[in-house]
Structure 1
Amino acid sequence: MSRLHEFLGENFVKEPASDKGLLEKFWDNNWGVTNSVGKIRKILVHRPDKEVHALQNAKFDPKAEALILRDDDGEIVSYCLHETAPDLALMQAQHDKMVSILKAEGIEVIELEDDGKLITNKLFARDVGMVVPGGLILTRFAFKFRYGETRLALRTAAKIGMPVLASIQGNGYAEGGSFAVLDAKTAIVGRSIRVNQEGIDQLRDILSWQGMELIVVDLPAHLIHLDETFMMVDRDKALVDITNLPHWFLELLQDRGIKLIITDPNDPPLTNNCLCLSPGKVLFSEKGQSTMKKLQENNIEVIPININEINAMGGGLHCSTLVLDRDDI
């Protein structure tokens, strides 16, 4: 080794890539999340726009119990859970209300980059990435009609200066709605029709680089993402649909000191799909009245909002947002 390189050796990076000091000095922000409940600082969304008008050409399929939109070659390019096309103006008004609440909480709202191409499901920004300490993991979608969204996520990350740590490749697929960070050393993924074993294996390897372990929860066949049935709502409290989670996972949460608040079975689907704004404070669909009362009885502050037209596209509040930066707890 030359004297110069021996001298420069004192400058070698000794900290991990997720080190706060490195991120703030060289990436201008402490990007990433180490938990699912710390106060949100930055969040990604996509305001529904003219792409939703394409669903005017969709046809209701009784077998699917949904509107199905196909292209000229007969391939599915979108769907909607209504029998008629959604009301774009109403959907935009509900989304705008959500964004106004986020901004009132002091959250920086970042819009997903757009290339003008038709991707009707990009409303659900959660699925484009998995955010961990230090940056973003790009997902790989299970369905072709959502494939182009990852490109938009990459463009957005480049624009705002957020580190992209890796992406799911090969024949693997994994989507952000089925991923959660429990703490700085632990993440959870729900295995489903949208998250296969190869995607899980790749994700486990990527997380190991961050010093994190991965807990894999098998979801029932009728669910596609973990956020339909599990959501942290405070440092030591989780909202869970116990009918759709294995007993061992519920025990694991309790063993970690997490109190389980059980979703009321009489409330509609996607009640669990709320957004934790800060410890003990959630943005919540107003349709889940009974569960809302349970949360409040457990000292969780609830901000109710009407998102019925967003629900028609197959997702909820959590689906519609990707948190890019949270406070540590």
Structure 2
Amino acid sequence: MKTTSHSEYLKLKSVYIKSAENAFVSQNELNKQWKELNYLAQPDFEVAIKEYRAFEKLLKASKIDLKYFPEDNSVKIDSIYCRDASIATDFGMILCNMGKAGRINEPKSHREEYLKCNISILGEIRFPGTLEGGDVAWLDEKTLAVGHTYRTNEDGINQLKQLLEANGIELIVVDLPHYKGKEDVFHLMSILSPVDKDLAVVYSPLIPIKFRNQLLERGFQLIEVPDNEFESMGCNVLAIAPRQCIMVDGNPKTLSRLKKAGCKVEIYKGEEISVKGGGGPTCLTRPLLRSY
């Protein structure tokens, strides 16, 4: 069985997650941190645990090898969105350097877990470079799209290029708009979720024309997220296999369009663990390996 880290849609074999218990820790921690980390509202700890267990159950049902980041008092509640602190490649993990100040310790936490589990590390993004995992998406096994955002700067992108281009990977840089500004969580994967080799969920109003045309030229059919389902994370869709997806509840039009395109879709209630913190199912997972 051939496996790769260079896909967003192949059959998910192994993935890191961080439970609500390990990330949020307690209602007291949520009370202290949610405003400074720019959450939309204060999450409820007990409800968050129930929501997360339902999300975790969907992954377990697909017999995915689940690995868990432990509780770590050096990081904050945003660590639940574990995609952002590292990038998986076939050559080893790349540790990010977070563009959000409140998340600066997360890559170190990932490093400790990877070293403990004998997972190889290819390199890391160093100051003044910043790069977050939500700003990168594999378009195919040899092509990585990278968003230039307030969280991922030019220096970070150049460091990523140095690590990957030597290994035959092409990087496509996507210059994203200001949108709501520096404090908002706005990543490339806020507007793009590949769910098959030729199918992607997108929010076109915020996609640069050049990049949208590149997707079309590569043969992608685009499932358009309507305006009223963008803020409710309609564009944040996790593929656990080709056209087999998980998404946040509350996006009926996008759900219908996915099903019309032949996708099987599972939904979870994510008000506390996703919507309030701005992190959907792709953000809640750090995929390691997928299989052909």
When normalised by structure 2's length, the TM-score is 0.91
Alignment match, 1:81 = 40
Alignment match, 2:127 = 170
Alignment match, 2:162 = 205
1:279 is aligned, of 242, 252, 270, to 242
After TM superposition, give the deviation of residue 118 of structure 1 in Å: 4.8
After TM superposition, give the deviation of residue 315 of structure 1 in Å: 1.2
Alpha-carbon distance between aligned partners in 2 of 1:131 and 1:321, rounded to the nearest angstrom: 11
Alpha-carbon distance between aligned partners in 1 of 2:101 and 2:214, rounded to the nearest angstrom: 35
Alpha-carbon distance between aligned partners in 2 of 1:158 and 1:52, rounded to the nearest angstrom: 31
Equivalent residues of 2:140, 2:197 under 8 A apart: no
1:56 is aligned, of 11, 27, 31, to 31
Amino acid at match of 2:28: H
After TM superposition, give the deviation of residue 138 of structure 1 in Å: 0.5
Equivalent residues of 1:237, 1:258 under 8 A apart: yes
After TM superposition, give the deviation of residue 159 of structure 1 in Å: 2.5
Equivalent residues of 1:51, 1:119 under 8 A apart: no
Equivalent residues of 1:233, 1:239 under 8 A apart: yes
Alignment match, 2:87 = 130
For each residue in 1:158-193, what CA deviation from the matched residue of structure 2 results, as whole angstroms up to 9, or x when unmatched?
222221111001300000011111112110111110
1:234 is aligned, of 165, 179, 196, to 196
Amino acid at match of 1:162: I
Kindly indicate whether residue 51 of structure 2 is the aligned counterpart of residue 94 of structure 1: yes
Amino acid at match of 2:255: M
Amino acid at match of 1:272: C
Amino acid at match of 1:48: A
Greater alpha carbon shift after TM alignment, 256-265 vs 238-247:
256-265
Report how many aligned residue pairs link the two structures.
281
Alpha-carbon distance between aligned partners in 1 of 2:187 and 2:13, rounded to the nearest angstrom: 24
Identify unmatched segments of 5+ residues in structure 1.
Answer: 1-19, 21-29, 59-66, 70-77
Alignment match, 1:320 = 284
Amino acid at match of 1:45: I
Amino acid at match of 1:263: V
Alpha-carbon distance between aligned partners in 1 of 2:186 and 2:256, rounded to the nearest angstrom: 27
Cα distance change on mapping 1:52 and 1:216 into 2, 3 Å: farther
Kindly indicate whether residue 255 of structure 2 is the aligned counterpart of residue 292 of structure 1: yes
Greater alpha carbon shift after TM alignment, 155-164 vs 233-242:
155-164
Select the structure with the greater relative contact order (CA < 8 A; seq sep ≥ 6): 2
After TM superposition, give the deviation of residue 206 of structure 1 in Å: 0.8
Cα distance change on mapping 1:171 and 1:273 into 2, 3 Å: same
Structure 1 outlier segments of 4+, above 6 Å: none
Alpha-carbon distance between aligned partners in 1 of 2:173 and 2:28, rounded to the nearest angstrom: 37
Kindly indicate whether residue 122 of structure 2 is the aligned counterpart of residue 160 of structure 1: no
Kindly indicate whether residue 213 of structure 2 is the aligned counterpart of residue 254 of structure 1: no
Q: Secondary structure at the match of 2:35?
A: strand
Alpha-carbon distance between aligned partners in 2 of 1:178 and 1:118, rounded to the nearest angstrom: 20
Alpha-carbon distance between aligned partners in 2 of 1:161 and 1:118, rounded to the nearest angstrom: 22
Alpha-carbon distance between aligned partners in 2 of 1:248 and 1:52, rounded to the nearest angstrom: 44
Query: Whose Rg is larger?
Result: 1
Alpha-carbon distance between aligned partners in 1 of 2:39 and 2:228, rounded to the nearest angstrom: 23
Kindly indicate whether residue 174 of structure 2 is the aligned counterpart of residue 217 of structure 1: yes
Alpha-carbon distance between aligned partners in 1 of 2:197 and 2:164, rounded to the nearest angstrom: 22
After TM superposition, give the deviation of residue 52 of structure 1 in Å: 5.3
- Taking the TM superposition and a 5 Å limit, the aligned residue runs for 1:30-41 are 32-41=4-13
1:42 is aligned, of 14, 28, 37, to 14
Alignment match, 1:244 = 206
Amino acid at match of 2:108: R
Alpha-carbon distance between aligned partners in 2 of 1:166 and 1:179, rounded to the nearest angstrom: 16
Equivalent residues of 1:239, 1:262 under 8 A apart: yes
When normalised by structure 1's length, the TM-score is 0.81
Equivalent residues of 2:17, 2:285 under 8 A apart: yes
Cα distance change on mapping 1:218 and 1:51 into 2, 3 Å: farther
Identify unmatched segments of 5+ residues in structure 2.
Answer: 180-184
Q: Secondary structure at the match of 1:115?
A: coil
Alpha-carbon distance between aligned partners in 2 of 1:234 and 1:128, rounded to the nearest angstrom: 24
Alpha-carbon distance between aligned partners in 1 of 2:95 and 2:27, rounded to the nearest angstrom: 24
Alignment match, 2:138 = 181
After TM superposition, give the deviation of residue 112 of structure 1 in Å: 0.9
Greater alpha carbon shift after TM alignment, 311-320 vs 164-173:
311-320
